[in-house]
Amino acid sequence: MEFELWWLLALPLFFGLGWLAARVDIRHAMSESRSLPASYFKGLNYLLNEQPDKAIEAFIEVVKVDSDTVDLHFALGGLFRKRGEVERAIRMHQNLVERDDLPDEQKLKALSELGQDYLKAGLLDRAEDIFNRLEKTAYAGQARKFLLEIYVQVKDWHKAIAAARELALISSQPYHIEIAHYFCELATIENVHGNPQAARAHLEEALAVNRNCVRANMLLGEIEAANGAHEAAIALWKRVEAQSSVHLALITDRLMDCYRALGREPEGLAWLRAALARHPSFELFNAVFAGTLKTQGAEAAYQLAQEELRRSPSLRGLDRYVEAELLGAPIERRQDLQIIKGLVYSYSQRQSMYQCEKCGFKARKFFWHCPACGSWDSFPPQKREE
């Protein structure tokens, strides 16, 4: 009974202590909120309402009142960089780096932000120097990613390979696609300078890193074809089907050129027909259409175009259909068909584009490396019609 009585006396005491602690916390929070200028809350409100310009002006007022708001300096610098006001971002982060009273952790963060400012401004040598200084710090992984971006921009492929391999060791991303392309870039440079053996060595390294590197087999085939080894080139280009069937669109014309050089054009056309049956696409059809028109005449090409248009309606398919019909049409119909063909061709060319699957960037030319987002292998090799 005595034990229960003590508990009854202790319970109100516990509740009283809890209430007192809560009152102290509330007073502390209220005092902190009163110490913040009203411009701080205005800035937050502007950010929530997606008004960054007004938010920046409000935060600048806060910084004028209280220069010790380090986190706000970081927020302002990031906003400046995002808006393209890189000079203001650089000044903001430089001031933080030069402050003696700043803790080491915040100084490293300011240094990282300054490197990103320089990168955005195109001052790549300064950015590279800063990111190299961040090695063996908590920002080393992030710094290596920015260094890789710099090396790709300046086309220093040897350094890019080394940086990508380091990143692959410390991250979940293997970087094998990127590294293979860097070797392909080196091979292209060597081939342009008349060093096919060195180019082959780089391409073999690319395939060792990524056995599905279509670009490496394509470039190896081009080297063989340039040296007159058409059989070897054909064998290399046929491997593309096993690596990525959609990329057959990029080698059809070159493949037929090699068969033509060997005097075996019908054999090449037969192989393309079989590939079209396995992997239907307009690019393969276009190559088969051209070969059929040349070797079998307008009637056979017309039948082929008719079948393709029924299977997969498209403006480019319609253009080939009208072309085949025009070749076999009577004289009185040719003028009308020529007008129709001109209109269809012009419109199909305007509407057919390559498009990056990562960022949506559109281009008339095929790219291995997206000019907009910097992704590799993000362009499907088949044009899309709007």
For 18, the token pair is 């809890």
Alpha helices in 101-139 (DSSP H): 104-121, 124-133
- With 0-12 CB in 10 A as exposed, 13-18 as middle and 19+ as buried, what is 197? exposed
Distances (CA, A) of 354 to 48, 55, 109, 348, 357: 37, 39, 40, 13, 10
Distances (CA, A) of 97 to 100, 106, 113, 137, 178: 8, 9, 10, 16, 34
Q: Which residue has the tokens 């559109």?
A: 362
* 355 secondary structure, DSSP code: E
Main-chain phi, psi angles of 363, to 5 degrees: -155, 150
Tell me if 359 is assigned to a ligand binding site. Answer: yes
Contact 80, 108 (CB under 8 A): no
Q: How many residues does the chain have?
A: 386
Tell me if 258 is assigned to a ligand binding site. Answer: no
Alpha helices in the chain (DSSP H): 2-35, 38-48, 52-65, 70-83, 86-98, 104-121, 124-133, 140-153, 157-170, 176-192, 196-209, 214-226, 230-238, 240-243, 252-261, 265-278, 282-296, 298-311, 315-328, 331-351
Tell me if 370 is assigned to a ligand binding site. Answer: yes
Annotated binding-site residue numbers for Fe cation: 356, 359, 370, 373
Q: Detail the residues annotated as belonging to a binding site.
A: 356, 359, 370, 373
